[in-house]
Amino acid sequence: IKSEAIQSLILQTLSSEETISDSRQLALEGKSLSSTEDQNVIRGVLDSLSSKEMVEYKQITTTSYILTEEGKLIDEKGSHEIRVWQVLPVKGKGEPITVPELQKLVGPGIAKVGQSRAFKNKWIAKDGNGFVRSAEAPVDETAIQLREIREKGDHTSGESVTKELQKRKLIAPKKHIHYSISKGANFSTEVKQLETDLTVEMLQSGAWKDSSFKQYNFAAAGQPTDGGALHPLLKVREEFRNIFFEMGFTEMPTNRFVESAFWNFDAMFVPQQHPAREMQDTFYVKNPVKSLQPEPEYYERIRKVHEEGGYGSIGYRAPFSREESEKLLLRTHTTAISTAMLYELANQKGGFKPAKMYSIDRVFRNETADATHLAEFHQVEGVVADYNITLGNLIAFMQEFFGKTGNTKLRFKPAYNPYTEPSMEVFSWHEGLGKWIEIANSGIFRPEMLEPMGLPKGVRVLGWGMSLERPTMIKYKISDIRTLVGHKTDLDQVKKRAAVRLEKGDD
């Protein structure tokens, strides 16, 4: 309502006076509109009127000055130098005042500054151990200037004085904005409602001919857009991926979720009677009913090492069934891919060459979901194949790898995997939780797995694996995995969570 009144005030004033040179001179019902708030309202009205080209306006910025707390004190009681002069005796008409006495009389701060300025002004002089007056009636310029500024917001003593007073922190500038206003091309005292859109109806009726249209506002802020966001698992995956690249590893092609039991278990020397193979633990695929056949000679070597042994092993001495081998399943670990890659490495053109390979991808286990388990998750896995490498190399690789993730204090505990010997669980000291936590599983792949592939005898292969979800949950302090993946995922959190740097540790 106020802005409507101001709008008609501006239009009426322009109509009778042509221009308004200073918007602070406008007054509504006898009340001045010079305050900052009123000038802001005027600005809004001017923007609206000028978008219709009814008025033109210019912004004028001026500066006035206000007294600081110290400035106010001087305005009230006089400058430090005059206060020093005031307490001193006229020469010969009293005991000269010593520095300690002066400090008692006016306070140490005022005594120090006031004495030095009064000296410079030649208002006071030394007399024996003390000071006496040397001017009769000094003029306290500073106090006079400050009074003028208090009363008028400015003074007439020139710019150098302004600078000096500002430097002494006695005054502070204050900016003021006002406007000069004149008539625009479409000036009228009536404000026409402007059309924002050209409609079909206006075209059909011909009303468009008499309509005025609102101008485009190219400076308007657009609608906020909703951008995509990387899922926390993808951010942590990127960190692991970069560490592997730094260490010279290449990525394995993990783009197949459905795997044969042959690659997922048999080729890795996992016995066909192993509990992990049961339906409660593994998702089997009904259709197609069986996998393609592996290379017959390789299959035969695998069958033999399971049933009868070989390569220094006595095997499992249990029946090995082709039907079991040809079952299709959702891979339970990415080590199935590592195994297929090692087989390729052994049988590639030109023969075996040392390799460092990694993968980070999804695996599936037939588990009931709870706060820390899902039926699908991701594995991070590194595999190194070379001549004559040892358990010491495996430990060194893991120390470098996990060191780059901020896990510098590691412990290794003997463990069991059907496909590695020796096997080790890896523990890391978690500073934040104050305890050792298991972070990975590792080992040296068995000859029963490597030799049937045709890898040269001196070649050893080491590897380590872990989940991607666990470090992600630790990093982002997520206690329930179901809020990270699946239909209960908190999308808002996905958007808000910042990137992480693994090398900064876990706490």
* Pick 306 or 470: Cβ nearer ligand PHE: 470
Q: How far is the CB of 425 from ligand PHE (least distance, A)?
A: 9
Q: How far is the CB of 258 from ligand PHE (least distance, A)?
A: 18
Binning the chain into helix, strand and coil, the percentages to the nearest 5 are 40, 25, 40
Measured CA to CA, the distance from residue 263 to residue 291 in angstroms comes to 10
The footprint of ligand PHE (CB under 6 A) covers 333, 335, 381, 417, 420, 441-443, 463-465
Burial tier of 321 (Cβ tally within 10 Å: 0-12, 13-18, 19+): middle
* Pick 130 or 463: Cβ nearer ligand PHE: 463
Q: Are 94 and 131 in contact (CB under 8 A)?
A: no
Closest CA to 99 of 300, 107, 433: 107
* Pick 291 or 441: Cβ nearer ligand PHE: 441
* Pick 417 or 472: Cβ nearer ligand PHE: 417
What is the number of the residue whose Cβ is closest to ligand PHE? Answer: 465
**Long-range interactions of 459-462: CB distance < 8 A, separation 24+:** 459/352, 459/385, 459/386, 459/387, 460/385, 460/386, 460/387, 460/388, 460/389, 460/390, 461/342, 461/383, 461/384, 461/385, 462/383, 462/384, 462/389, 462/391, 462/393, 462/394, 462/397
* Pick 315 or 465: Cβ nearer ligand PHE: 465
* Pick 118 or 346: Cβ nearer ligand PHE: 346
Q: How far is the CB of 382 from ligand PHE (least distance, A)?
A: 8
Q: How far is the CB of 466 from ligand PHE (least distance, A)?
A: 7
Q: How far is the CB of 415 from ligand PHE (least distance, A)?
A: 9
* Pick 254 or 420: Cβ nearer ligand PHE: 420
- Per residue, what are the HEC states of 374-419? CCEEEEEEEEEEEECCCHHHHHHHHHHHHHCCCCCCEEEEEEEECC
Burial tier of 152 (Cβ tally within 10 Å: 0-12, 13-18, 19+): exposed
Q: How far is the CB of 257 from ligand PHE (least distance, A)?
A: 15
Please state whether 289 falls in left (phi above 0), alpha (psi between -120 and 50) or beta: alpha
User: Got the DSSP string for 134-169?
Assistant: --SS---HHHHHHHHHHHHSS-SS-HHHHHHHHHTT
* Pick 7 or 335: Cβ nearer ligand PHE: 335
Q: How far is the CB of 424 from ligand PHE (least distance, A)?
A: 9
Q: How far is the CB of 228 from ligand PHE (least distance, A)?
A: 31
Q: How far is the CB of 335 from ligand PHE (least distance, A)?
A: 4
* Pick 102 or 394: Cβ nearer ligand PHE: 394
* Residue 135, amino acid: A
